[in-house]
């Protein structure tokens, strides 16, 4: 029997404990979780505690020494980087240089400039290694079946007249991420951290790139970092235009993507059914009828499974010719950041049109 790949997780925050550990546990026949690392011993231990029930052998690593051990351990072939948004790119590059495949959490970068320099150093050093390790960004929205299905329905709506992305978030003090220091300290605040998901959903659904934006931003709720609301128009490469509206904290939570065409409309809306959270896809047809389908969340599982399968493909082709599945590629994550970065920039300039950086 082939030996299972060994992996490590860097990070011990809420998302590691509530998503990575349980979702990885569901596919634990595919790899061995060798270590969990955090900057401090205390937080590393708390995540290891949570993981022990599924992965009894997992080792606890912390600080610079623990990180060096993971980097030097040649049995660890990939690492999940689930750290503060400001330090993820540096950490990912360090691991990639050491020849580890990396699955980095979103956002791909803290700003578009960081994504650009990160990608160019990745391309530069890849040539010195015997193979180019995979640098993937974990964006579960690209793996949610609702968006995969919504995209297929785009062929049914005819010429597109308008696209709407309406997000009324509920990021208040009851939310476990509300007090999180690095998210509050990110330029763009929660608009960037949460917004990349909604932009990823938009790009998945319409299958065309956003080329330019114009936005108004404001800071109303002083308990949140600025800005906390944004109204943007955007133009796609295929000529269509739309609006992206995001309120970080509202009393009326709603997350909706809607594409209005000459022959019908497709809408994806966050909701729940039979106690499960997920998305409802509604297809309104020209005859005034509609059909709806509910898809419970499963994007994190799908994305992890796809990444694992990419790693095993890459290991079979030792020459580094394996291309990562495009929904996981770092450039896809960078494109989401580039759009929000352009919207935030436009907001700072009172709505001046801003071109989106291409990747
Ligand atoms: C936060 O938002 C949720 C969803 O709207 C709501 O149920 C909850 O009461 C809010 N909490 C506070 C402290 O406002
Ligand atoms: C906030 O960000 C700045 C600059 O990016 C950094 O110097 C500072 O240490 C950060 N503070 C926290 C609490 O993360
Ligand atoms: C861009 C946008 O919609 N800004 C609004 C944010 O909320 C305040 C208060 O409701 C409005 O005055 C802004 O116009």
In this predicted structure, what is the pLDDT of residue 235?
A: 97
pLDDT band at 321 (very low <50, low <70, confident <90, very high): confident
Can you give the pLDDT at residue 268? 98
The pair of structure tokens assigned to 92 is: 């990912």
Q: Is 182 in the pocket of ligand 2 (CB under 6 A)?
A: yes
Q: Buried b / exposed e across 308-326, counting CB within 10 Å, b at 16+?
A: bebbeebeeeeeeebebbe
The pair of structure tokens assigned to 8 is: 């490590």
Question: Which ligand 1 atom is at minimum distance from the Cα of 251?
Answer: 5
pLDDT for 289 equals 97
Nearest ligand, CA 180: 2
pLDDT in tens, 11-60: 999 999 999 999 999 999 999 999 999 999 999 999 999 999 999 999 99
What per-residue confidence (pLDDT) applies to 150? Answer: 97
CATH homologous superfamily, domain 6-139+300-327: NAD(P)-binding Rossmann-like Domain (3.40.50.720)
pLDDT attached to residue 126? 62
pLDDT of residue 186 exceeding 60:
yes
Q: Is the pLDDT of residue 312 over 90?
A: no
Mean pLDDT of 330-336: 98
- What is the residue-wise DSSP string for 298-321? -HHHHHHHHHHHHHHHHHHSTTS-
Mean pLDDT of the chain: 94
Q: Using an 8 Å Cβ cutoff, are 335 and 209 in contact?
A: yes
Domain ranges of the chain: 6-139+300-327, 141-297+337-355
Sorted by sequence, the CB contacts under 8 Å of residue 108 that are 6+ apart come out as 89, 115, 137, 196, 330, 333, 334, 336, 337
- The closest residue, in CA terms, to atom 4 on ligand 2 is 185
Residue 68 in this model has a pLDDT that exceeds 90: yes
pLDDT at 161 over 70: yes
Q: Is 218 in the pocket of ligand 3 (CB under 6 A)?
A: yes
Residues 202 and 330 sit within 8 Å (Cβ to Cβ): no
> From the CB of 86, is ligand 2 less than 6 Å away?
yes
Question: Which residue is associated with the tokens 């015997």?
Answer: 130
Higher pLDDT, 311 or 265: 265
| Higher-scoring residue by pLDDT: 222, 258 | 258
Identify which of 167, 168, 169, 170 to mutate to test ligand 1's pocket (most ligand atoms within 8 A of the CB): 170
3-state secondary structure (DSSP) of residue 78: strand
User: What pLDDT does 314 receive?
Assistant: 85
* H or E, element range at 192: helix 189-206
Element housing 134 (H / E):
none
The pLDDT of residue 131: 80
Question: Which residue would you say has higher pLDDT here, 126 or 251?
Answer: 251
Nearest Cα residue to atom 14 of ligand 3 = 218
CA 186 from chain center: how many Å? 16
Residue 2's pLDDT band, with cuts at 50, 70 and 90, is low
Residue with tokens 């049995």: 75
What's phi and psi for 216, nearest 5 deg? -115, 130
Closest residue by Cα to atom 7, ligand 2, is 185
- H/E stretch holding 58: none
Q: How far apart are CA 98 and CA 129, in angstroms?
A: 9
| Maximum average pLDDT range among 36-40, 175-179, 226-230 | 36-40
Correct CATH for 141-297+337-355 of 2.20.25.90, 3.40.30.10, 3.30.360.10, 3.40.1390.10: 3.30.360.10
Q: Are 102 and 79 in contact (CB under 8 A)?
A: yes
pLDDT band at 3, cuts 50/70/90? Answer: confident
* Per-residue pLDDT at 266: 98
Residue 322 has pLDDT above 90, yes or no: no
CA-wise closest residue to 139 among 114, 103, 190: 103
User: What spacing in Å lies between the alpha carbon of 299 and ligand 1's midpoint?
Assistant: 25
Phi-psi region at 63: left, alpha or beta (left = phi > 0; alpha = psi -120 to 50): left
Residue nearest to atom 10 of ligand 3 (CA): 220
- The percent of residues in the chain predicted with pLDDT above 90, rounded, is 87
Q: Is the pLDDT of residue 225 over 90?
A: no
Q: Is 179 in the pocket of ligand 2 (CB under 6 A)?
A: no
Specify the pLDDT at position 342.
Answer: 97
pLDDT grade for 229, boundaries at 50, 70 and 90:
confident
Q: Any idea which ligand is nearest the CA of 86?
A: 2
């Amino acid at each position: 029997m082939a030996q299972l790949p060994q992996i490590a997780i860097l990070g011990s925050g809420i998302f590691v404990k509530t998503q990575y550990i349980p979702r990885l546990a569901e596919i634990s026949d595919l790899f061995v979780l060798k270590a969990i690392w955090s900057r401090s011993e205390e937080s590393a231990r708390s995540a290891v505690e949570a993981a022990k029930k599924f992965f009894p052998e997992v080792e606890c690593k912390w600080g610079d020494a623990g990180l060096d051990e993971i980097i030097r351990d040649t049995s660890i072939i990939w690492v999940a980087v689930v750290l503060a948004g400001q330090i993820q790119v540096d950490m990912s590059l360090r691991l990639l240089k050491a020849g580890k495949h990396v699955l980095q959490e979103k956002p791909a970068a803290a700003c578009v400039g960081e994504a650009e320099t990160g990608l160019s150093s990745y391309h530069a050093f890849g040539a010195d290694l015997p193979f180019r390790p995979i640098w993937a960004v974990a964006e579960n929205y690209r793996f949610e079946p609702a968006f995969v299905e919504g995209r297929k329905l785009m062929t049914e709506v005819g010429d597109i007249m308008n696209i709407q992305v309406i997000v009324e978030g509920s990021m208040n003090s009851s939310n476990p991420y509300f007090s999180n220091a690095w998210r509050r300290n990110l330029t763009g605040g929660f608009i960037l951290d949460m917004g990349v998901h909604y932009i990823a959903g938009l790009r998945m659904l319409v299958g065309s790139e956003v080329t330019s934006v114009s936005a108004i931003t404001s800071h109303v709720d002083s308990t949140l970092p600025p800005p906390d609301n944004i109204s943007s128009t955007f133009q796609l490469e295929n000529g269509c235009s739309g609006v992206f509206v995001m309120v970080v904290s509202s009393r009326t939570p709603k997350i909706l993507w809607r594409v209005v065409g000459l022959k019908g409309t497709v809408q994806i809306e966050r909701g729940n059914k039979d106690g499960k959270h997920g998305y409802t896809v509604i297809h309104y047809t020209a005859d005034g009828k509609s059909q709806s389908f509910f898809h419970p969340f499963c994007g994190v599982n799908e994305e992890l499974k796809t990444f694992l399968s990419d790693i095993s493909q890459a290991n079979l082709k030792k020459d580094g010719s394996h291309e990562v599945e495009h929904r996981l590629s770092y450039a896809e994550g960078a494109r989401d950041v580039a759009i929000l970065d352009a919207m935030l920039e436009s907001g700072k300039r009172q709505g001046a049109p801003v071109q989106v950086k291409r990747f």
